[in-house]
Structure 1
Amino acid sequence: MAEYRAFTLDDIPAALALSASVKWRHRADDWRFAARLGRGFAAVDRDGRLVGTALAFQFGAHAATLGMFIVAPEYQRRGIGRGLLERLIATLGPRVLLIHASNEGRPLCEARGFTRIDTIHQHQGAAFQPPLVSLPPGERLRPIGAKDTPRLAELASRASGLDRTAMLPPLLDVASGIALDRDGELIGFALFRRFGDGHVIGPVIAPESPDESRAKALISYWLALNAGMFVRVDTPLRHGLSSWLEGLGLPLVDTIEQMSLNGLPLADGTLAQYALTSQALW
């Protein structure tokens, strides 16, 4: 049987080994970033060895995401995952709770009342040739400036339905950004940052459109600047970018289910989040 306690920064070396055991690409810096933004639980065996982790990330008073959910392979199917999930749910109360569940984890989430809301396609690779994507008249890409932070948080919050006010500043500290501007108004953006043994593009926020041209322009910008680097993009199935990403040389390597409990976040339908920040942070 496992014992449960609060996850702390002191657990990061053991958590890094745990994530490597399930073939996650996370660095110690990725764990530190997550642990500073979230709170959660560690499961330890009778010898005090870390055998499970789960963190929650709160977005205002009404929603939270669950992530960094791992159980050591040799300790799976012993109820540890259920114990971690139940403790997070009890801590967070009646908030809207969101999680990305693997095929192995989905039955546990369904048993606790989570329902599927979408599928995430994980694309990654290093051999890509992005096209030049034209923008509508009056729109251009420009560097993000320090004064853009409140607007970026507003757009990210509206697109996801999650209050990103507290999350965006620390994310911008570790990411580079490009803004989509229309006649002087910031209407979308995409961030690019180190993650694992490569880089991740996300979040990608842009006005909803049938051809996804703005999202493609934002993603292509980062790919063109980083040809030959290992890059990852996690995109919701409903936005239809998977075939385009595969055509650029970013093959589909994994799928995972988006699930929710206690309802859905109230997103602005005029904006879309075309790529995730991460599967833990949405």
Structure 2
Amino acid sequence: MPDSNNNDVIEYRAFTLDDIPAAHALSMSVKWRHRAEDWRFAANIGTGFAAVDQSGALVGTALAFQFGSNAATLGMFIVSPEHQRQGIGRGLLDRLIAKLGSRTLLIHASNEGRPLCQQRGFTRIDTVHQHQGAAFQPPLVSLPPGERLRPIGARDTPRLAGLASRASGLDRAALLPELLAVASGIALDRDGELIGFALFRRFGDGHVIGPVIAPESPGQSRAKALISYWLALNAGMFVRVDTPLRYGLSSWLEGLGLPLVDTIEQMAQNGAPATDATLTQFALTSQAVW
């Protein structure tokens, strides 16, 4: 269905894999670090809408990522700088909301996008701190007795998906195999039982650590050990970690040489996911899929 905005007629249609080159160019225009490969990963696991102008040029994108039948995350929202403040972001968001129905919907909202999200019934549930950098010196972090880090094995996938689902409140059964196809992983083991993990993968012009999932511990030693493992292996490489404010890792990450570069609000519509109180997701997979 078309919208008319400042004499421009905007058409909304399904986002397809053929849109990836234009979407990548669009994300570069707003200084996102995403590669074309990052867009392809998102498009393969999500669905959404493209906004195009009268010439057929892509001017906006928005994708949704469904986790089971009850929840979805919204992300990859971009409107070209030349077409902002014309209602295109609202048109994209409204179409995703209509498509997804009564599910719990989760979104990361910038300062500019927060008023629209609030108008559509989203409420704040946390703030996420984005840390990134390349000059870091991680410390050696001790784990509780009986716990160790070990490589992730092929047989671990169902357990990893279960831990990720419990920690996030989202059904990660389909997402984890996709992530493991593009990421390396380290497992947290307690007396032979897998109790946490952290993944490390290419993203943009560097790498991202996430998700990081573990039981809470004094000083969050488990989460710190998982993150420090990847930092120690990749000294001098550009690394990003997105962590919810309430878990208290920001000052520690800054002390390692990963400065805080951005904050963004986590918001939910139709309630927040029910998470397992015995597990915590200390770092996001990404701001699109959480």
TM-score normalized with structure 1 length: 0.99
1:186 corresponding residue in structure 2:
194
1:79 is aligned, of 74, 87, 99, to 87
1:51 is aligned, of 59, 62, 65, to 59
1:240 corresponding residue in structure 2:
248
Q: Deviation string for 1:152-204 (max 9, x for gaps)?
A: 00000000000000100010000000000000000000000000000000000
Q: Deviation string for 1:20-66 (max 9, x for gaps)?
A: 01100000000000000000000000110000000000000000000
- Compute the displacement of 1:210 (Å): 4.2
Q: Distance in 2 between matches of 1:71 and 1:210?
A: 43
1:91 is aligned, of 88, 99, 111, to 99
Unaligned runs of 5+ in 1: none
SS of 1:110 mapped into structure 2? helix
1:32 corresponding residue in structure 2:
40
- Compute the displacement of 1:216 (Å): 0.1
1:254 corresponding residue in structure 2:
262
One-letter code aligned to 1:142? R
One-letter code aligned to 2:127? T
Q: Distance in 2 between matches of 1:196 and 1:118?
A: 25
Match runs of 1:80-229 below 5 Å: 80-229=88-237
Q: Distance in 2 between matches of 1:229 and 1:63?
A: 35
Unaligned runs of 5+ in 2: 1-8
Q: Distance in 2 between matches of 1:233 and 1:55?
A: 22
Tell me whether 1:271 sits opposite 2:267 in the alignment.
Answer: no
The total of aligned residue pairs comes to: 282
SS of 1:85 mapped into structure 2? helix
SS of 1:2 mapped into structure 2? strand
Q: Distance in 1 between matches of 2:221 and 2:115?
A: 36
Q: Deviation string for 1:214-266 (max 9, x for gaps)?
A: 00000000000000000000000000000000000000000000000000101
Q: Distance in 2 between matches of 1:166 and 1:124?
A: 28
One-letter code aligned to 2:229? Y
Q: Distance in 2 between matches of 1:34 and 1:51?
A: 18
Q: Distance in 2 between matches of 1:54 and 1:212?
A: 35
- Compute the displacement of 1:209 (Å): 2.7
Question: Contact 1:41 / 1:84 at 8 angstroms: preserved in 2?
Answer: yes
Q: Deviation string for 1:60-115 (max 9, x for gaps)?
A: 00000000010111111101000000000000000000000011111110111100
Q: Distance in 2 between matches of 1:71 and 1:265?
A: 28
Tell me whether 1:19 sits opposite 2:27 in the alignment.
Answer: yes
One-letter code aligned to 2:48? G
Q: Distance in 2 between matches of 1:211 and 1:126?
A: 24
Question: Contact 1:122 / 1:253 at 8 angstroms: preserved in 2?
Answer: yes
Question: Contact 1:208 / 1:269 at 8 angstroms: preserved in 2?
Answer: no
Question: Contact 1:18 / 1:70 at 8 angstroms: preserved in 2?
Answer: yes
Q: Provide the identity percentage.
A: 85
2:14 corresponding residue in structure 1:
6
Q: Distance in 2 between matches of 1:208 and 1:125?
A: 25
